[in-house]
């Protein structure tokens, strides 16, 4: 695996230079082999029996059937802008917030977007490609597809890539609950997975995000992503969830992807419906932050941000 360790100062530029070279190679290869048009065709087929994510609703979105995420065949986005709050080597990151989500996190920070899949502006591929070009000229270092979650919008995102005339790294900013088929379509076109690893237990995933089989699906996808592209793992530490979630996640990463970029996040805030769950209805305590850092240190993993 070609993951690079980023030293605190000079490594950042090197990381991104290497990344850009890889992106260019990937872009040229994709264009040359026309695999992108094949991927678009395959994604449109999946839309007829939607299994972009592991909910596998099987609805025909081209015939206006709606699955769990509520996203129609036409993708919509709530906003796009230059984001300066992402990991240092990614900023400024041109971030596109698609509406709808495959999860239902009770503490969702973007609940106004994730729970309103039919709101927002239609994401017309040619127009989005123009916007990406404009942001690139303004200094964007990449384009960052997020939401909600980008997974229900895969068919649109592939079409946007096809229309893009600028060479820019493609960032997939996701909960990693997509299907194996989706991972196959992402292979070769995504340069960076900016990937949330939320839960160390299926019980917690069921309780707070209403998903089944979380651990097996996400760990499978992390391994696939790691074989194929750069990965930045984000773990948002939840109050009272260090033993059941933080610890197994950190230990799994240390075992399977020890040199990965790992971002232990302490900014949890009880948004949306979190007040209905007393155990997560507060911010992290100082002790919890300290304990989370100890878990990372004990596992031999470097928290690089
Ligand atoms: S992307 Fe939406 S419709 Fe498709 S399988 Fe997932 S939740 Fe269901």
CATH code of the domain containing 111: 3.20.20.70
Contact between 141 and 15 (Cβ < 8 Å):
no
Q: Which residues does ligand 1 sit against, CB inside 6 Å?
A: 50-53, 55-57, 59, 67-69, 71, 102, 151-152
Pocket perturbation via mutation, ligand 1, pick of 45, 46, 47, 50 by most ligand atoms within 8 A of CB: 50
pLDDT score for 301: 87
* Percent of the chain clearing pLDDT 90 (strictly above): 86
Mean pLDDT (whole number) for 61-74 = 97
Determine which residue's CA is closest to atom 2 belonging to ligand 1: 69
Average pLDDT, the chain: 91
Q: How far does the centroid of ligand 1 lie from the alpha carbon of residue 69, in Å?
A: 6
Which pLDDT belongs to residue 34?
62
Residue 304 lies in a domain: no
Other beta carbons less than 10 A from residue 42's beta carbon: 15
Strand, coil or helix: what is 78? Answer: strand
Q: Are 209 and 241 in contact (CB under 8 A)?
A: no
Rg (CA), the chain: 19
Please report whether residue 303 resides in a domain. no
5 falls within a domain: no
The stretch 6-24 carries a mean pLDDT of 45
Q: Is the pLDDT score of 8 beyond 50?
A: no
pLDDT confidence bin for 134, thresholds 50/70/90? very high
Backbone angles phi, psi at 251, to 5 degrees: -65, -40
Q: Is residue 252 part of a domain?
A: yes
Residue 2 lies inside a defined structural domain of this protein? no
At 24 the pLDDT is 52
Number of domains in the chain: 1
Count Cβ neighbours within 10 Å for each residue of 205-237 and write b for 16 or more, e otherwise: beebbebeebbebbbebbebbbebbbbbbbbbb
Distance 104 CA to ligand 1 centre (A): 13
Q: How does pLDDT run across 210-240, given as a tens digit for each residue?
A: 999 999 999 999 999 999 999 999 999 999 9
Sign of CA dihedral 56, 59, 62, 68: negative
Inter-axis angle of helices 10-33 and 35-47, nearest 10: 80
Q: Per residue in 251-262, pLDDT tens? A: 999 999 999 999
What is the pLDDT averaged over residues 106-133?
Answer: 97
Give pLDDT, residue 1: 30
Residue 178 within a domain: yes
**Mean per-residue pLDDT, 86-91:** 94
Query: Mean pLDDT, to the nearest integer, of 115-138?
Result: 97
Ligand 1 center to 158 CA (angstroms): 17
- Residue 219's domain comprises 10-298
Residue 172 in tokens: 């997939």
The answer to whether residue 152 sits within a structural domain is yes
The ligand 1 atom at the shortest distance from the C-alpha of residue 61 is 3
Cα distance between residue 297 and residue 9, in whole Å: 21
Q: Which of 215, 225, 128, 231 is nearest to 182 (CA)?
A: 225
> Quick check: helix, strand or coil at residue 172?
strand
Is 130 inside a domain boundary? yes
Q: Are strands 93-98 and 76-83 parallel, antiparallel or unpaired?
A: antiparallel
């Amino acid at each position: 695996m070609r993951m690079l360790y980023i030293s605190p100062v000079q490594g950042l530029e090197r990381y991104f230079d290497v990344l850009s070279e890889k992106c260019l190679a990937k872009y040229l290869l994709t264009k040359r082999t026309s695999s992108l048009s094949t991927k678009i065709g395959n994604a449109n087929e999946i839309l007829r029996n939607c299994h972009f994510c592991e909910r596998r609703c099987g609805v025909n979105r081209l015939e206006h059937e709606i699955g769990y995420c509520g996203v129609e065949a036409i993708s919509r986005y709530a906003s796009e802008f230059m984001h300066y709050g992402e990991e240092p080597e990614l900023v400024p990151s041109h971030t596109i917030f698609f509406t709808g989500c495959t999860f239902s996190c009770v503490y969702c920070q973007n609940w106004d977007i994730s729970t309103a899949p039919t709101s927002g502006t239609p994401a017309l591929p040619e127009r989005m490609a123009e916007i990406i070009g404009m942001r690139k000229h303004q200094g964007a270092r990449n384009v960052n597809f997020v939401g909600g979650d980008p997974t229900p919008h895969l068919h649109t995102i592939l079409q946007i890539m096809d229309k893009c005339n600028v060479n820019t790294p493609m960032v997939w900013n996701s909960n990693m609950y997509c299907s194996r088929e989706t991972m196959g379509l992402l292979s070769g076109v995504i340069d960076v997975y900016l990937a949330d690893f939320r839960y160390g237990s299926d019980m917690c995933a069921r309780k707070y995000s209403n998903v089944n089989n979380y651990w097996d699906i996400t760990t499978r996808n992390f391994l696939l992503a790691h074989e194929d592209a750069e990965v930045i793992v984000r773990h948002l530490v939840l109050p009272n969830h260090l033993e059941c979630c933080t610890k197994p996640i950190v230990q799994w990463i240390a075992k399977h992807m020890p040199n990965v970029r790992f971002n232990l996040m302490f900014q949890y805030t009880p948004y949306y419906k979190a007040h209905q769950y007393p155990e997560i209805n507060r911010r992290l305590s100082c002790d919890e932050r300290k304990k989370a850092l100890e878990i990372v240190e004990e596992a031999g993993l470097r928290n690089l941000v």
